[in-house]
Structure 1
Amino acid sequence: MRKHHHADRKSLTRTIIQQIVFKINKNATNNNKTIFSGRQCPVSVCYIHRCTVSVFTIAYCVCAWTFSITLSVKGILLPLRTFGNNTIMNILIQCIGSFGIHYSKDYTEADFHFIMRGAALIRMLANFMGHSVFQRGLQDYLTLHKYGNAARNDLWNTLSEALKRNGKYVNIQEVMDQWTLQMGYPVITILGNMTVENRIIITQQHFIYDISAKTKALQLQNNSYLWQIPLTIVVGNRSHVSSETIIWVSNKSEHHRIAYLDKGSWILGNINQTGYFRVNYDLRNWKLLIDQLIRNHEEYILKQVATTYIKLGWPKNNFNGSLLQASYQHEIPLNVRDIVYCTGVSLLDEDVWEFIWMKFHSTTAVSEKKILLEALTCSDDRNLLNRLLNLSLNSEVVLDQDAIDVIIHVARNPHGRDLAWKFFRDKWKILNTRYGEALFMNSKLISGVTEFLNTEGELKELKNFMKTYDGVASASFSRAVETVEANVRWKRLYQDELFQWLGKAVRH
């Protein structure tokens, strides 16, 4: 085992607590890029689009995955590497939070959840293969099929050969077919063996967010699902953490011997969330992980910001004047601009909202316009939110593709959730006419507006609304109902208990 460096602590914290997702600096991309499905990625990777529909999904995913790797291999500053990782993490959180994903042969049933799920799987594949081996395998694949078509298995077989040349023997097709052709994803449970030291029990099962859904859908009652899971783990205690190791989990239940694991050590699985699965632990291990995160957290944060603090320093006098001068000399960094704008709009008055609105109209940079527009949705003023929703339908003011983001971000604002939901229902005919043919966008809108609905009344409204427009975007609306039913159930079971716990914590 090696010393627990700050990098290890950072890895541990990032794995358990999802970091804030930052925007990727547009200037970080290199010139050899092309636009593919709304993302920037290397031209060579986008060539995979020439393959079959199944591999089309992979092409899109590689774009998302590759951008993170590009930032790392180009040696750009650490914060930019973090942006890439956080963007992929955000994709993973979104698709792992989707629990009703059903594969459909009808392409019209496909939506952006299916595409983002592929991005997470490609990231997992690249991680257990090793990034350099994965990239070499992709190059071989593109070379072999550059003048023709290819099927999904062609990609898997080429990657298996690349892995074999590196001395590793994994049947990529066998592994990935379980992830791409089976519904959903697994949850791993790691249990400590109380009778034998250094031993753990690892189980896997099909993860169902809403347990009650099993009684409603026959396909969810299938207990035969199995995945070959590349589980990365580390073991640690108060002063040390082990190096990362990988365990392949293929059965419902397995016993494994883990080095350095004793009664005082915790175990952490799925490092950096590279795997497309959830991980659960026994109560003892959860407590050890919580204790590890709490211990010396202030010292850790100070270490992280110390260099910045020293670099900036403080003037001996004229403090306010220096702040004013600094505001003109230093632009708000792009990676925190969305947070700064949003916070300002939410805490300050209507004048600030109008100022941001004016900036939105005057700027010509597309990325800046998007950040400003999303900041406008952060207001606590319901009148301003209503005004913005209505303006979003004016194509001369807000681009059609940006209007969806306006509605979704208002729905995520606690002060605007009901406004966005009512607006969505009232304007559905207009919205469906505008986005109905753009399957991904329509599905994104339905999911975004309904994902935070959590009352019996809202669930009833959603079901009644579906009956009114029976057959329109049925798959997306069915998933929305699953989401809201799960939200209502969770709220009923845990809200009071959670509020009591929070109240007790605040009092102490």
Structure 2
Amino acid sequence: MANDRDVLPDNVKPTNYSISLFDLKPAEPWTYQGQVEIDLQVNKPTKSVTLNTHHLNLHSASITVESGKHGSSVKSNDISFDKKNQRCTISFDQELPQSKKATLSIAFDGTMNNHMAGFYRSKYKPPVEPAKGVAKDKDSHYMFSTQFESSDARRAFPCFDEPNLKATFDFEIEIPDDLSALSNMPEKETRKSKKDGHKIVSFDKSPVMSTYLLAWAFGDFEYVEDFTRRKYHGKALPVRVYTTRGLKDQGKLALESAHQIVDYFSEIFRIDYPLPKVDLLAVHEFSHGAMENWGLITYRTTAVLFDEYASDQKYRNRVVYVVAHELAHQWFGNLVTMDWWNELWLNEGFATWVGWYAVDYLHPDWNVWGQWVTEGMQTAFQLDSLRTSHPIEVPVRNALEVDQIFDHISYLKGSSVIRMLSSQLGVETFLKGVSDYLKAHQYGNAKTEDLWTALSKASGQDVTTFMDSWIRKIGFPVVTVAEEPGQISVKQSRFLSAGEVKPEEDETVWWIPMGLKTGPEATDAQREALTVKEDTYRDIDTTFYKLNTNQTGFYRTNLPPQRLIELSKSLDKLSVTDKIGLVGDAGAMAIAGHGTTTGLLSFLEAFPAEGNYLVWSEVLSSLGKVRRTFSSDEQVSEGLRQYALKLTTAAVEKIGWRFQPNDDYLTGQLRALLLSSAGLSGHKATVDEAQKRFQAFIDGDKTAIHPSLRSAVFKIAVKNGGKDAYKAVQHEYLNTTSVDGKEITLQSMGQVQTPELAREYLDWGFANVATQDLHSVGISLSNNGKTRETVWQYTKENWPMIRERMGGNMVVLDRFLKMCLQKFSSFELEKDIESFFKDKDNEGYDRGLAVVSDTIKGNAKYRERDMEVVREWLQARGYMK
């Protein structure tokens, strides 16, 4: 694998960076000056040093090489740039001898850009009077921070920007006297600058770490603080949540979670948290959800801030999980780092699983594994059921390719197979193996097989044999079941949402834990894992059985049609996760042609009395996919609306609008979900009440809508209230002080019902909405059958503007295209998209376009196959006139 990598030359290796940034311009042109001294080990004689730079100007470079008792300093006679590969080569007119210590000094300047990558600026509107030193323009104030993963440290300073070229870091920065600076380590000292009104803040030397984990930030910060309850080197560690001035109280939920999770992970990993402090920073503009910089974790505001009185309760869940995920990385990713980007899943898959594990520890009443199955696993299935998917461990030749694999395969499929393996080994044994792995490789780099070795030793089982096909092969299996009296036959094959798997695509034999329940009491029936293509399991009570108990296995089941009917009569014997899995599998089988949409719709008719939010979430998600696919036919679309209305009416009338003091988290979320679904399906009483509350809200009564019902009410109001309601929600976007208000209003405005209003929304969005949130504009319109095609037409007509606006950060552009274009079900539209991008430079989002193409083709095939069958079923059941 290493030979396939396009990496920096190995003639030198960094050991320490001393970085100094000064003369920062807090307005156009937003530049700064920098000096970096890199201590190097010269591995062999050389006349040049090659390292990474991107959008930097290098003014001068020199190197001092220690040789014996003396050192010699040599100035560079040439600095050349390879812009495509983001490298520069610093050449010298004499050969540098092999040496354990050399110091490369580089003077440079860079830009605090607005692309949410490298060292960048974030604009915001302060809720209170800010400090005088805050950068501002006529519209906004600014804070400054970094985002270096995967390969953007090179945008901030010249460096050896590869994960296995670890080093220590010393950092200092010159900032205005009344602002605060943060970095990975605690502040070492503050001294007065020669520049009037400024100071220089320096920080302690970091541990050995990868460049992508270095971080710094400065701005008008304040914080809330708590301390770990465990002692580390004899004292409790400070844990702080930093925000810009006026927002710190919204960091209390994250703070309460963070100090407990640091202690919990220290306990279960059997390694104490290794740094002297834990800082969490809310960043106003952020391309990702959060970033695990060691000791200074940065977050999108909605992933770390929460207002107990004004936030939608769903953000409580999000904040606790994202805090846990990033803290998991402090060990798994930071202390031990993947050797190369092909093993990104080692970081992300594990952090996702153990993040939810920690949330379950803190909030067992949330049933997070039910949430995981309906959100995480189903999303992973969706991407991995495409021909354009990729293995969990995917070859990455150049670090510039890696951003496109920060996707649902690395995160969600990766964590799904971790969950499957931990269930097989037992969680305690699994975590013991993880601890051994971390201890063996701490402060270094490791490969997937290193984890398997540790887990095999801890468990006494051959983990490599279990997991190799899951990690290195593309796709996942469907287990097709055939019944005979007293036994079932099972067959595994690769699952593709488009169906029609070719023989050459179906050569993998997965290790599949059966997880079988059977009999009147649904008792566990231990069976060996399926490790061949076909097998038979005997002594099965076929009056009731369920494969893949609690959905711990990452595979779909294709049951005989009659079995699905029988299971719909026995829902009381099924766990929440089992119900979710059956609904998800039934929907997937319909799409692939292994089952039917009518079978799915008949199965869903068993759920109106269901009382669990997570099950309803999967029911309505599966139904939503059907409604989107067939939305182009007005008659069928209306029939499915009537079906959705009937499905939800009893449940929404039972749960009502009022939040009771003893309502738990899941009950509140169920109320919001059912009101939204029923209202958008046209349930008259819900629509009338939503419009009444909306009018009171915009007339000034902010208590008229519960914070967790804003999304439902705003969407229903925009759908039914036309331009006036759309404008009122737009006004709320511009004036909201709620941390989640912008996300909620953007999603709601997409319920406009005409192409004209959709176009107006897109124009307004690209003129007024932060780049990080533009995908919310496109997605909300793409989910709407009345406006879906408008998004594509607008994209074509305005491509140069969109490319320019988002192209500074390909993660943002790739996400926009994938999420906005894959909802179509038309072969013609797929061809139009392919034709439009055919002559474009698609580097950075080509994988995304392939996913779009594959998804639309599958949707179109599904629509053509089942349209008339669905029409007949709806007519026969009285849903259509």
1:114 pairs with 2:413: no
What TM-score comes out, normalization by structure 1 length?
Answer: 0.77
Give the 3-state SS of the residue equivalent to 1:353 in structure 2. helix
Aligned to 1:274: 552
The alignment status of 1:367 with 2:740, answered yes or no, reads yes
Sort the Cα spacing of 1:142 and 1:59 in 2 relative to 1 into closer, same or farther, 3 A: same
Query: CA contact under 8 A between 1:46 and 1:60: conserved in structure 2?
Result: no
User: What SS does structure 2 have at the residue aligned with 1:141?
Assistant: helix
Q: In 1, distance between residues paired with 2:741 and 2:252? A: 10
Give the CA deviation at 1:173: 2.1
Residue of structure 2 equivalent to 1:22: none
> How far did residue 439 of structure 1 move?
4.3
Aligned residue number for residue 392 of structure 1: 765
Alignment of 1:51 with 2:338, yes or no, is yes
- Give the structure 2 partner of residue 332 of structure 1: 706
Q: Distance in 1 between matches of 2:777 and 2:252?
A: 21
Matched with 1:3 is none
What SS does structure 2 have at the residue aligned with 1:48? coil
The CA deviation at 1:184 is: 1.2
SS at match of 1:105: coil
Q: 1:152 aligns with which of 448, 459, 483?
A: 448
Contact 1:68 1:88 in 2 (8 A): no
Structure 1 Cα separation of the partners of residues 718 and 563 of structure 2: 41
Distance 1:272 1:161 in 2: 27
Is 1:341 the counterpart of 2:714? The answer is yes
Helix, strand or coil: the match of 1:375? helix
What's the CA shift for 1:99?
A: 4.1
Q: State the Cα distance separating 1:365 from its structure 2 match.
A: 4.1
Of residues 252, 258, 261, the one that matches 1:31 is 258
Distance in 2 between the 1:430 and 1:57 partners? 34
Where does the alignment leave 5 or more consecutive residues of structure 1 unmatched? Answer: 1-24, 215-219, 314-319
Q: Which amino acid aligns with 1:114?
A: I
Please say if residues 230 and 248 of structure 1, whose CA atoms lie closer than 8 Å, have aligned partners that are also in contact. yes
The answer as to whether partners of 1:408 and 1:448 remain within 8 angstroms in 2 is: yes
The separation in 2 between residues aligned to 1:307 and 1:233, in whole angstroms, is 38
Q: Structure 1 CA distance, aligned partners of 2:525 and 2:807?
A: 46
**Deviations 1:158-215 (CA, angstroms, capped at 9, x unpaired):** 22233x2xxxx43222222211111111111122124xx1x2111111222224574x
Q: Which amino acid aligns with 2:396?
A: K
Residues 48 and 56, structure 1, Cα contact 8 Å, conserved in 2: no
Q: Distance in 1 between matches of 2:862 and 2:819?
A: 19
* Deviation of the 1:339 alpha carbon: 3.7
CA distance in 2, matches of 1:405, 1:365: 17
Count matched residues: 454
Q: Between Structure 1 and Structure 2, which shows a larger proportion of helix residues? A: 1
Greater shift, 240-249 or 446-455, is seen at 240-249
Query: More deviation in 375-384 or 180-189?
Result: 375-384
User: 2 CA distance for matches of 1:243 and 1:78?
Assistant: 25
Alignment RMSD: 3.7
Matched, 1:454 2:817: no
DSSP 3-state at the match of 2:719: helix
| Distance 1:373-1:46 versus aligned 2 partners, 3 A rule | farther
| Matching residue of 2:275 | none
Q: CA offsets per residue over residues 341-373 of structure 1, 9 Å max, x none?
A: 333332334333223222222234443321222
Deviation at 1:51, TM superposition (A): 1.8
Asked if residue 487 in structure 1 is aligned to residue 859 in structure 2, the reply is yes
Aligned to 1:242: 523
SS in 2 for 1:287: helix
What secondary structure is seen at the aligned counterpart in 1 of 2:838? helix
2:159 paired residue number: none
Q: Structure 1 342/126 Cα, relative in aligned 2: closer, same or farther at 3 Å?
A: farther
Q: Which amino acid aligns with 1:494?
A: D
Partner of 2:847: 475
Aligned match of 1:316 = none
Identity percentage over the alignment? 19
2:774 to 403, 423, 428: 403
Aligned partners of 1:26, 1:413: CA distance in 2, in Å?
36
In structure 1, the residue matched to 2:834 is: 463
Amino acid at match of 1:74: L
* Separation (CA, whole Å) in 2 of partners of 1:436 and 1:257: 58
- Classify 1:381/1:100 alpha carbon distance in 2 versus 1 (closer, same or farther; 3 Å): same
Aligned-partner SS, 2:570: helix
Indicate the SS of the match to 2:791.
Answer: helix
Go from structure 1 to structure 2 and tell me whether the alpha carbon gap of 1:126 and 1:441 turns closer, same or farther (over 3 Å shift): farther
TM-score normalised over the length of structure 2: 0.47
Q: In the TM superposition, what are the counterparts of 1:123-162 in structure 2 within 5 Å?
A: 123-162=419-458
Partner residue of 1:12? none
Could you say which residue in structure 2 is the equivalent of 1:5?
A: none
- Which residue number in structure 1 is paired with residue 490 of structure 2? 202
Counterparts of 1:77 and 1:458 in 2: how far apart (Å)?
Answer: 45
Deviation at 1:290, TM superposition (A): 3.3
Do the aligned partners of residues 54 and 475 (structure 1) sit closer, same or farther apart at CA in structure 2, a change above 3 Å counting? Answer: closer
Structure 1's 66 and 434: CA in aligned 2 closer, same or farther, altered over 3 A? farther
2:755 maps to which residue? Answer: 382
Contact preservation (8 Å) 1:92, 1:276:
no
Any idea what SS the aligned residue of 1:254 has?
strand
Contact 1:58 1:122 in 2 (8 A): no
Give the AA of the match of 1:255. T
Alignment-derived partner of residue 221 in structure 1? 504
Secondary structure of the corresponding residue to residue 413 of structure 1: coil
Instruction: Please list the CA deviations of residues 388-440 of structure 1 after superposition, one character each: whole Å capped at 9, or x if unmatched.
Output: 2122323xx21111112321221121111101111222233333344446444
1:176 to 457, 467, 470: 467
Tell me, in whole angstroms, the C-alpha distance in 2 between the residues paired with 1:85 and 1:224.
27
Q: Partners in 1 of 2:527 and 2:801 — Cα distance?
A: 51
Structure 2 regions of 5+ residues with no counterpart? Answer: 1-250, 262-279, 281-289, 293-298, 300-321, 572-602, 612-649, 663-688
The structure with the largest strand share of the pair is 2
Q: Distance in 2 between matches of 1:60 and 1:149?
A: 15
SS in 1 for 2:491: strand
| Distance across 1 between alignment mates of 2:432 and 2:727 | 52
Pick 1 or 2: higher relative contact order, CA cutoff 8 A, min separation 6: 1
Closer, same or farther: CA 491–347 of 1 in aligned 2, 3 Å: same
